[in-house]
Amino acid sequence: MNKIKDLITKLARHELISGSFYIFIGTTISSALAFILNLYLVRGLTYAEYGIFSALISLILLLSIPAQSLVAIIVKYAAGFFANNEIARAGAFYFKLFKYLLLFGVLIMISFVIFSPTIASFLNIEDYGLIILAGVSVAVGYMAILNSAFLQSMLLFGKVGLLNVLSGIAKLIVGVFLVYLGFEVFGALFGNLMFPIIGLVGGFIILRKIISQRAQKVNIPINEFIKYAFPAAIAIISLSSFISTDVILVKHYFTPDEAGLYGGMSLIGRVIFYFTGPIPLVMFPLIVKRHSKGEKYNSLLFLSLVLVFLAGASITVFYYLFPEFTISIFLGGRDYFILAPIIGLFGIFLTLYSLNNVMISYFLSIKKTFVSVIVLIFALLQIGLIYIYHDTFSHIIYVSIISTLLLMISLVLYYLWINYKKEFI
């Protein structure tokens, strides 16, 4: 009995568990608030309007993916500064990156203004203003991601969780209020914009001392930075496309009402990602830290995979056992009940996706950037197969399952190959 108690205590104090706990709590509360907002939106918007909202959110997520790769890159360098107590250099690094991201954000907004007619035509959306608002969300998100990356580098997972909660509250209040006033999709999107705005402002407040102590110069090995940044961006963009391009292509190929139904199913499936996402998020800087010190780190990967699998499998089983209850809770029933036979399949897809997320984060944390090629191949495979087989929602889900399963098998083989080479070097 004492041994079991000691094991539980040891696990609770494990840096992966404790760090994941803070982010999990913040993410869970934030997701619950987003869930309440979506409950309101699926009832307050028509199927066609919700389809537009889902497609634009997926577009925002897809175009924000390189920002997630920036997190990996920023954490890699900033964590080194903090580990060596080089606060001034960390501040200079922050200031330099912020200037670049601000310029990049301006270019994004200009691009959205220029290409809004083309995007609107592809997604069958008449209001160009919605496209431009989506561009603003992407631009602000890029600037906000810098703060999140620095907080992770400092292992301040509790404050990351707190910002998630505050952002979720602002998103809910503003979104509900504007939709209630009759702003429909515009109001829902503007509520979504509050999330990166709070992250940006809140991050400034927390990091103000570090920013103010910046050194005059900070030398960053640009060649090494780009050598790591480019494949990392490709890997994360390719991974995230698995849960974004399907929604976008459904909006293109199906009727507006059908696109709205698929968007609702995507919302249910992403619950798995919301529950498991904090685990690789915390795992990444911990492995970077151990890898840089020459310490063992594979146990962090195995523990992360186990935790993600248990969470994903449990939620998927629940979807299979209680599909109509799940739809009633998440989507309010109505025509969404036609999704009942396939939401379990979507759960399998998101569980496989979440496991792949852990594996890819692991490879990037130890600088195995060849993983970007592997992920890109199977992301393109999913897009190509959806282009060929898109007659029904089931076809799209089966295509996604096959693509993510093949990716997972390839990642496991890559892991075995790396460790095989290590034994004989």
pLDDT tens, residue by residue, 385-405: 998 988 888 899 999 999 999
**Residue 7 pLDDT exceeds 50:** no
* DSSP helix/strand/coil, 70: helix
> For residue 414, what are its two tokens?
């890559």
pLDDT grade, residue 414 (50/70/90)?
Answer: very high
Between CA 102 and CA 107, with CA 104 as vertex, the angle to 5 degrees is: 115
CA distance 159 to 153: 12
> For residue 145, what are its two tokens?
């991601």
Closest CA to 419 of 363, 358, 353: 363
pLDDT tens, residue by residue, 181-209: 988 888 888 988 888 899 889 888 888 87
Average pLDDT over residues 225-241: 80
* DSSP helix/strand/coil, 294: coil
Contact yes or no for 68/254 (Cβ under 8 A): no
Whole-prediction pTM = 0.69
Residue 12: its pLDDT value, please?
47
Residue 11: its pLDDT value, please?
47
Give the other-Cβ count within 10 Å of 132's Cβ: 15
**Residue 411 pLDDT exceeds 80:** yes
φ and ψ of 49, to 5 deg: -65, -40
pLDDT tens, residue by residue, 8-25: 455 445 555 555 566 667
Rounded to the nearest integer, the mean pLDDT of the chain is 81
Closest CA to 384 of 370, 402, 371: 402
**Residue 6 pLDDT exceeds 60:** no
pLDDT grade, residue 218 (50/70/90)?
Answer: low
Residue 422: its pLDDT value, please?
62
pLDDT tens, residue by residue, 284-315: 777 876 776 777 878 888 988 999 999 999 99
CA distance 245 to 130: 19
Residue 71: its pLDDT value, please?
73
Q: How far apart are the first and last CA of the chain?
A: 43
Contact yes or no for 174/194 (Cβ under 8 A): yes
Residue 425: its pLDDT value, please?
47
pLDDT tens, residue by residue, 56-104: 887 887 777 667 667 767 777 777 777 677 777 777 788 888 888 889 8
**Quick one: what percent of the chain has pLDDT higher than 70?**
87
Residue 49: its pLDDT value, please?
85
**Residue 352 pLDDT exceeds 90:** yes
pLDDT tens, residue by residue, 138-176: 888 888 888 888 887 777 777 877 888 898 899 899 999
Residue 260: its pLDDT value, please?
80
Residue 382: its pLDDT value, please?
93
Residue 412: its pLDDT value, please?
94
The CA distances from residue 195 to 157, 176, 189, in Å, are: 17, 14, 11
pLDDT tens, residue by residue, 340-350: 888 899 999 99
Render 383-420 in DSSP notation, one character per residue.
HHHHHH--SSHHHHHHHHHHHHHHHHHHHHHHHHHHHH
Q: Within 13 Å of residue 383, how many CA atoms lie on the same side as its CB?
A: 15
> For residue 248, what are its two tokens?
């976008």
